[in-house]
Structure 1
Amino acid sequence: MDIQAFIQQSCGRWFTQRTCHQIGNLSSEAQSAQLCMEKLSLEDKAVLDLCEAANTEPTLVQCAAKISWQGQGFQVQPQETGELLLVAISNAPNQGEMLQQVGSAPFMRLNFHIDGDQRLILTGTQDQLHLEERVWFASPNLRLRISLLKQANQLYQATWYSEVRMGVLPEPAPEELPHAASTK
């Protein structure tokens, strides 16, 4: 699977359950959310603006997506909403860089690769925090994620996500369908 196929398979509406463990103060927090992930055109203004901000050539963009969410904690917490823009930049189908921007916050540049077990692995460092995230499909409608944050080589936070697709798999765009073999 390449990054374009991984993003396409991730598109749709998802129900997410998250458990976040703060290692230093021995606390945990649970939250549920609804995610909506949609593939964006490579000419989308948000994609081009992010490429410009990252001083990256737009012709290197493999695919882009927008993730929006609406979440609610299991305790008395205000409802949380947000948006995340993802732009995959690569000369190779299974590895490259991922530009990530949450709302109007500064973007983050992550490295990505898809391993032999079809897991998307993201890594990056920003403000002395090192992120490692693994995302994989247990089935077409069940996606799992684990996110680790480290500070000064010490595990700071570990988060587990299970995501269940709400509805059916998205249809691939006509240009993404394999060409039929000729029987002539």
Structure 2
Amino acid sequence: MTIEQFVAQSSGKWRSMRSGHSLAFQQFEEVLSEVTIEQIDKENTAVKQLLESSIIANQDDHLVTSPFRMEWCAESDWEPEDPSEVSSGSCIIVPLTKDNCSGKLIRSVGYAESEAAISEYHFLDDGTFTLTTQYEQSIAEERIWFVSENVRCRSSVLRTSAGSGILQTSFASEVRRINA
């Protein structure tokens, strides 16, 4: 699989059900989300601004391919401050390909920490997308794979920044919303 194929196959509206285990809080969490993924043009102003603000050295060694916007709205059964609070947000993600099966992703907002992030990605032989992001206080390792055209799975492990301890694990199944 290539990043272009992955983004094209991921585009659309998804209903996600995620189970998470926070080892730090000794808490299980169930999260229901609506996720929308849409491809955007390389010439989009937000894409250009993200690339200009990026700290990636040697961007010229990589090819900007298939940028996309991801939006989410999530409801959790465990919110420490307000159980009725809904979490939502969006981010721009710009893949920079190194070769057919690997490269970097620049994210306007990260997965584990709410800051811009640069991730390393690669595809396994079976088409599984793997992503590793080093944040200031943690390391996120994610895997996404397609079970069928309209069903995909996602798992993540959040480690301490030194990589020595596991803070959180999660698994999500995601089903594409199909318009009748």
Task: State the TM bucket, normalised to the shorter chain.
Answer: 0.7 to 0.9
For residue 109 of structure 1, what is the aligned residue in structure 2?
118
For residue 169 of structure 2, what is the aligned residue in structure 1?
158
CA distance in 2, matches of 1:34, 1:141: 14
What is the TM-score of this pair, normalised by structure 1?
0.84
Runs of 5+ consecutive residues of structure 2 not aligned to the other structure: none
Give the partner amino acid of 2:109.
V
Give the partner amino acid of 2:4.
Q
Structure 1 position 60 matched with structure 2 position 69: no
For residue 167 of structure 1, what is the aligned residue in structure 2?
178
> After TM superposition, which residue ranges in structure 1, 4 or more long, deviate above 4 angstroms?
55-59
Structure 1 position 7 matched with structure 2 position 7: yes
SS at match of 2:51: helix
Please tell me whether the aligned partners of residues 98 and 104 of structure 2 are also in contact (alpha carbons under 8 angstroms): no
CA distance in 2, matches of 1:73, 1:131: 20
For residue 88 of structure 2, what is the aligned residue in structure 1?
81
SS at match of 1:162: strand
For residue 92 of structure 1, what is the aligned residue in structure 2?
99
For residue 174 of structure 1, what is the aligned residue in structure 2?
none
The sequence identity of aligned pairs, in percent, is 28
For residue 121 of structure 1, what is the aligned residue in structure 2?
130
Structure 1 position 18 matched with structure 2 position 18: yes
CA RMSD of aligned residues (A): 1.8
The offset of 1:77, in angstroms, is 2.5
CA distance in 2, matches of 1:126, 1:81: 21
For residue 71 of structure 1, what is the aligned residue in structure 2?
74
Give the partner amino acid of 1:141.
N
The offset of 1:30, in angstroms, is 0.7
Aligned residues: 167
Superposed CA offset, 1:1-47 (max 9, x none): 10000010000000001111111332111110111100011111111
Please tell me whether the aligned partners of residues 36 and 72 of structure 2 are also in contact (alpha carbons under 8 angstroms): yes
The offset of 1:55, in angstroms, is 4.5
Runs of 5+ consecutive residues of structure 1 not aligned to the other structure: 169-184
For residue 27 of structure 2, what is the aligned residue in structure 1?
27
What is the TM-score of this pair, normalised by structure 2?
0.86
